[in-house]
Amino acid sequence: MLRAKGVPTAWQVVYNDSGMGHCWTRVTLTWQDPGNRSHRSHLMIQSDLATGRISGIRLDG
């Protein structure tokens, strides 16, 4: 769930790494403010390979 005033105008998901039963992907969310300026949020998502469920989220960069 995202809590923000708006919704992302674009998103990108890229494989980052895997090991010890987990996979890490980098998610980039692009937001646009009322002045048409773009802002990006970068998240690292950790998923459990056995269940496919998200087991961690942290800000990246």
| Whole-number pLDDT of residue 2 | 57
Listed in order, strand segments (DSSP E) in the chain are 10-19, 22-32, 38-48, 54-59
pLDDT digits (tens, 9 = 90+) for 12-44: 999 999 999 999 999 999 988 888 888 899 999
The CA-to-CA distance between both ends of the chain, in Å, stands at 20
pLDDT exceeds 90 at position 1:
no
34: DSSP letter: T
Tell me how far CA of residue 27 lies from CA of 4, 24, 35, in angstroms: 16, 10, 24
Q: Measure the CA–CA gap between 35 and 47, rounded to whole angstroms.
A: 36
Structure tokens at 24: 């890490």
Tokens 């998103």 identify what position? 11
